[in-house]
Amino acid sequence: MARHTRTADDSAGARAQRTSEALTERERAVAEAVAEGASNATIAKALFMSEGTVKTHISRALTKTGLDNRVQLALLVFQAQQNSC
């Protein structure tokens, strides 16, 4: 059972990593900040961009990954990071 679970987790992590590779460097940076729980205003200040630009990057990242919201985006980033360790 543990081996099956680990294989399923590894597969999800690998899939998340491949999916996140579709993002540009800036979209990935914004997505990582979202995964850390940062607000749009905080992300904008940290990455030296407007809040509108942050929203655009989040929207594009959601479109490229086929996700519906920032929570799913955060989970994708987390899974991809776990797979790269």
For the chain, helix, strand, coil in percent to 5 are 80, 0, 20
Q: How many domains does the chain have?
A: 1
Residue whose tokens read 């959601």: 62
Give me the chain's average pLDDT, please. Answer: 88
Task: Give per-residue pLDDT as tens, 54-71.
Answer: 999 999 999 999 999 999
> What range does the domain containing 69 cover?
2-84
> Which helix (H) or strand (E) element contains residue 56?
helix 51-65
Helices and strands (H, E) in the chain, number of each type: 5, 0
Residue whose tokens read 């994708």: 76
The model's confidence at residue 85, banded by pLDDT at 50, 70 and 90, is: confident
- pLDDT (average), residues 9-22: 82
Q: Report the pLDDT value the prediction gives residue 42, as an integer from 0 to 100.
A: 98
